[in-house]
Amino acid sequence: MLEQLNRIEQTALSMLDQVRDEAGLQQWRVKHLGRSSSLSQVLSKLGQLPKEERPMVGRRANQIRQALESALVEKSEALQQVAIQRSLEAERLDVSMPGRPAHSSRLHPATQTLRKIYQILAEMGFQIYWSREVETDAYNFELLNMPAHHPARDMWDTFHTTTPGVLLRTHTSPGQIHAMREFAPEPIRVILPGMCYRYEQLTARSEIQFNQVEGLAIGKNITFSDLKGTLADFARRMFGQNVRSRFRASHFPFTEPSAEVDIECFVCGGSGCSVCKQTGWLEILGCGMVHPTVLRNGGYDPEKHTGFAFGVGPERITQLRHRIEDIRYFWGNDMRFLEQF
């Protein structure tokens, strides 16, 4: 009997040796430790043995069961190790491969220029005053000295909403009235940045949306020389300390007198080229002394207060700084353009 048990053990162990995977392991367990295994059969027939043989055979059979069970655990762990090793080999990561470049974001070129403008004017004491993009006819035109049928309105084709008299602002100048009505009769030194809209045919020189930065200074004894000094300094800080600027007489309904500011063409240095259209000068903004009617509409007494205003286009300035030929690139969302800045 003991000999038979020894054989059972040896057979089981040598078969376990040949097991190669989890399925084989399960089959082995059923065959050698299951209910109908040879070992179980020996144990179930224990009662039929002579009394004096029973303890010895029983003890040996249980020893074998324990031995087989721990061999099973050992084998199972060994198989798992092999499986892990195999997957590490098969799914090996090549850490020497170059990584995918991280996509870093950046500011839109117009935003970059806007921030530069804010910085320069902040240093001169101008605060940002946010005004609305949806305006009334009164603020966009009337209160700025452009009554209905005023020929100056022809400069702007406008996006009208379905509500009569409500439109998208064509310029940032209506913000002047909002700021004045909030602060009058106190002095004001603000800039009003933001998007403007015009219903236009798209060309290289015109867009239906664009930014403007309006400047407004109101107080006692503000003169045209304050305007000149401020804007000449702005041009130097924006384009370089050696850049010359000039004031050209112009007309805007909301300023009197009015002017346009040019800077010396930094491409040709003033001798004339295709960028400045052979004039040697580049126009950068419109400006003037706030018209008495506009002052009055804002709540100031033009006998006591004066002020200056200006309007500059950040996209236009960006075009000059980077020699961008077509203004439509700004809002075309073409990454090939945007990634250059």
Q: Which residues here bind ligand DAH, judged by CB under 6 A?
A: 171, 173, 214, 252, 255, 286-288, 309-311
Element (DSSP H or E) covering residue 306: strand 306-312
- Looking at beta carbons only, is 32 or 305 nearer to ligand DAH? 305
- Looking at beta carbons only, is 42 or 287 nearer to ligand DAH? 287
Least distance in Å: CB of 283 to ligand DAH?
11
Least distance in Å: CB of 289 to ligand DAH?
8
Handedness of CA 237, 240, 243, 249 (dihedral sign): negative
- Looking at beta carbons only, is 109 or 175 nearer to ligand DAH? 175
Which residue of the chain is nearest ligand DAH when measured via CB? 311
- Looking at beta carbons only, is 39 or 253 nearer to ligand DAH? 253
* Tokens representing residue 317 in the block: 């300035």
Q: What ranges in the chain are assigned the alpha helix state H?
A: 2-18, 22-33, 38-44, 54-90, 109-123, 137-140, 174-183, 224-239, 292-297, 314-322, 335-338
Least distance in Å: CB of 264 to ligand DAH?
21
What one-character DSSP code corresponds to residue 45?
A: T
Least distance in Å: CB of 325 to ligand DAH?
21
- Looking at beta carbons only, is 5 or 261 nearer to ligand DAH? 261
Least distance in Å: CB of 214 to ligand DAH?
5
Tell me if residue 329 falls in helix, strand or coil. Answer: helix
Least distance in Å: CB of 258 to ligand DAH?
6
- Looking at beta carbons only, is 131 or 173 nearer to ligand DAH? 173
Element (DSSP H or E) covering residue 252: strand 245-252
Exposed, middle or buried: residue 270 (CB in 10 Å: 0-12, 13-18, 19+)? middle
With contact defined as beta carbons under 8 Å apart, do 195 and 313 qualify?
no
